[in-house]
Structure 1
Amino acid sequence: MWIPLVACLCCLLASSSGQERASFRRGNDQRGRCQYSFTVESPTEASCPAAGGPELDGVKSRLALLEVLVGRLTGAGESVGECAQLRREKERLERQVQELQGQLGGLRQELENLRARPCQTASSAGASAQDRSQRPLSGSSIFSHLVSRPGDPSEMDGVSDSMMQQGRVAYQELKAEVTEVPASRLNQKPNQESTGCGELVSIREPETHRKADTINGKYGVWFQDPEPGRHYGPEMVWRIDTVGADVRQLFAYENMDQLVRGFPTKVLLLPEPVESTGATMFQASLYYQRRRSRTLIRYDLASERVAARRELPHAGFHGQYPYSWGGYTDVDLAVDEKGLWAIYSTNKAKGAIVVSQLDPNTLEVRKTWETTIRKNTVANGFMVCGRLYTLASYSSPNTTINYMFDTATGQLKAIAVPFRNLYRYNSMVDYNHASKKLYAWDNFHMVSYEVQLGKPDI
């Protein structure tokens, strides 16, 4: 055994004879056995690499990569800040566009009024404009000024001089304007003034009054009675949270300030559950659809009992023909200057909107109109001066009132009156003809909009 070992050592020593440094050591290991070891310098490397060299290089590489990622994240943060600033600027510009569109609508209406007036000479324009600014809408004052007392020299002298200066043509125009006043207006008493009806021209920015406290208030209805009775005053505000399987609570607030504070004057428990957000208030009565039926109910607020109930003929209910946002909004009751209305659809209409005028006491249908507006393509509807208006979207922050159906003429017209869904989920829109405002329920929030109507209907 020793001979091969010695031969191997000799070979190793011979192969390392060319090296400057070599060492040989012999000793016992832990078990007491003899162990030989030797050390020879590397023929290619002058010294061994430093301890942990590859690992340190790997760490340095990872640190460099982290520095790059941190730099990218920092740049992304700056981009997010710039995006937020651009978004705020976009919203500001959109608000300006809405205001300009509203002003444009008013200017267009004024242009139509100017086109409808008879042409005047340049010399008579100033006098005519001044005369109109001092005259009420009924046109009775100018008639009385020129016709009722023709023998009064104190008045006729000034008028005659003016006519002589302006010429016979201007006199004939003014005479024609006087004689075109309808006879019904000449006999009109002061308490029979015009209702101020006209086409919808613009809608102002929404005003937020209150946010609902619980999940039951995600959808709901709120309103003020445009023609209240003696039992409750005109300042009373009413509210119903409509999320739930058995909606019966009607909250009453003494005024708008108490609504904002959340202090109801009383809470009425309705005898029949409410279906969705189609209820309305008129002449001291609450009108609503009974849950899971086409039955309409008139609840008298003074006696706190059901005063009338009637089925709406052939009306779809509980999800057959809702608005685009859903919510079982098959029957939508509305009130305007002309009375009480129902907005709904039937199997015969195949989902198109049907408008019926109802008797506010008995709920009988007086007259019905069928439109070509698909009910599930619009977000909501309301009545103003006997005209149906529909909302294009319930969730888009900047949408429009897109259709107008006039029950007086049976004509449908596409329009584009800007409308803002401030909280992006509008589930109720109703018109109050006393305050000339829209009341809406937008994603827990009770908001209102001031509306502007065009020239009065004749």
Structure 2
Amino acid sequence: MGCTATRLEKTIRPKEGWQVYSSAQDADGRCICTVVAPEQSLCSRDAKSKQLRQLLEKIQNMSQSIEVLNLRTQRDFQYVMKMESQMKGLRSKFRQIESNRRTLLTKNFQELKGKMNELQPLIPVLEQYKTDASLISQFKEELRNLSVVLMAIQEEIGAYDYEELQQRVLGLEGRLRNCMNKLTCGKLMKITGPITVKTSGTRFGAWMTDPQASPKNNKVWYMDSYTNNKIVREYKSVSDFVAGVESKTYNLPFHWAGTNHVVYNGSLYYNKYQSNIIVRYSFESGRVTTQRALESAGFHNVYPYTWGGFSDIDLMADELGLWAIYATNQNAGNIVISRLDPQTIQVLNSWNTEYSKRNAGESFMICGTLYITNSHLTGAKVYYSYSTKTSTYEYMDIPIHNQYFHMSMLDYNARDRALYGWNNGHQVLFNVTLFHIIKTDDES
């Protein structure tokens, strides 16, 4: 079956809480698989779970209010008990006044007046009792209503608890990863875009991320101009790159030639100026770890791309590893594809094509197949491909929208499954559509 795989990192991301992994189509273009999964933490933000949490918090707050009310009521009750004792004393005083009005009238009247003053605060206490009693009734009624709502939500959710739901999500994610592993490689069918990430620098340059980096590592490296420069600028993320917030600057020991550099597994690989030497520079150590000449490779505008710019040697990476694209006199100036050892930069294997390097606008590798554009200007298209797996070539007709009229860098990133481009001083991204043959478990 045929599948379309797209995974383009950009500033505008899928709806928060969701991850778009891939999609698939059969040969007739019918959608048979859309892989869209929630993050593991999504359950905690589920609407029903949020409603339950809010209700429980409300009940807890009400319980605390009732507890405070109860303490206050107990305090007032003790005060009322004291007032009751004083009222009993007043009753006795009234009896004494009745029995001896003349003798005790004045004395008891003063004493009675004092007792009445003491009882005066009892009036607001009794009023507060009425308010508290009403408030308690209101709380009880609201708690009953909340209990009914909670029971309804619990019945709606059903018998699944959070741990069981989490296990089911993990199981689905495992199946998604297996699906993604089957979608690793495919044949290029379509190029869409570009998305303009930033406008900066001169007409010529390169920008890139590391396809071997972890998902959390989104560093961007930026190299302006095709020569007379040794400064590499590093940004912690694409958003920092867009904002111009540099995290580090590297001063290379040698000038580079062209714009066809690549960062792979923490190291920068580039063509040393006025030579066919490939330099491996480690960002971690800040020094050159390996240098090696690419035997017979033309350099210094002997076999550049159509736009020139010392673009004789093009270094790139795909799902299968590190590659060098160049031309030699032995191959009559036609493109040679060499797979390199990332540690030693030794050539592991080479393939001779019949496509002239000087007639190529740009090129990039996807899944061991080299794709070549016929121009660096408006109207460019992917015109030719060469498979290192079968050692065969094919003519193609896949348009690529050259929005800013001059392409001086075009490289595929296997992690992002996107093409990074430098388009006349604009840093752009293209999405790619690949056709896949997926093997079932029975076929594997």
The interval holding the TM-score normalised by the smaller chain is 0.5 to 0.7
2:278 counterpart (296, 319, 335): 296
2:373 counterpart (391, 408, 411): 391
SS in 1 for 2:193: coil
Amino acid at match of 1:309: Q
User: 1:131-154 CA deviation, whole Å, 9 max, x = no partner?
Assistant: x8699xxxxxxxxxxxxxxxxxxx
What's the offset of the Cα at 1:307?
A: 1.1
1:199 counterpart (180, 187, 206): 187
Amino acid at match of 2:188: L
2:340 maps to 358
Amino acid at match of 1:239: Y
2:401 counterpart (420, 423, 447): 420
| Higher relative contact order structure (alpha carbons within 8 Å, sequence separation ≥ 6) | 2
2:211 maps to 226
2:237 counterpart (238, 244, 255): 255
Over 3 Å counting, the alpha-carbon distance change for 1:388 and 1:133 in structure 2 is closer
SS in 1 for 2:275: coil
Structure 1 residue ranges (4+ consecutive) displaced by more than 4 angstroms after TM superposition? 132-135, 189-192
What's the offset of the Cα at 1:384?
A: 0.2
1:343 maps to 325
What's the offset of the Cα at 1:434?
A: 0.5
Verify the 8 A CA contact 1:316 1:344 in the aligned structure 2: yes
1:65 maps to none
2:123 maps to none
SS in 2 for 1:110: coil
2:422 maps to 441
2:138 maps to none
User: 1:415-444 CA deviation, whole Å, 9 max, x = no partner?
Assistant: 111101110010000000001000000111
1:305 maps to 287
1:318 and 2:300 aligned:
yes
Tell me the percent identity. 34
What's the offset of the Cα at 1:233?
A: 5.2
What's the offset of the Cα at 1:234?
A: 2.1
Over 3 Å counting, the alpha-carbon distance change for 1:190 and 1:400 in structure 2 is closer
1:334 counterpart (309, 316, 320): 316
RMSD: 2.5
1:281 and 2:263 aligned:
yes
SS in 1 for 2:27: helix
User: 1:312-343 CA deviation, whole Å, 9 max, x = no partner?
Assistant: 01100001101111111100001000000000
- Unaligned regions of 5+ residues in structure 1, if any? 1-105, 115-128, 136-188
TM-score using structure 2 length? 0.59
1:400 and 2:385 aligned:
no
User: 1:105-125 CA deviation, whole Å, 9 max, x = no partner?
Assistant: x98x714x99xxxxxxxxxxx
1:265 counterpart (233, 239, 247): 247
**Within 5 Å, which residues of 2 pair with 1:80-119?**
110-111=27-28
What's the offset of the Cα at 1:191?
A: 10
Verify the 8 A CA contact 1:334 1:382 in the aligned structure 2: yes
What's the offset of the Cα at 1:399?
A: 2.5
2:224 counterpart (241, 255, 258): 241
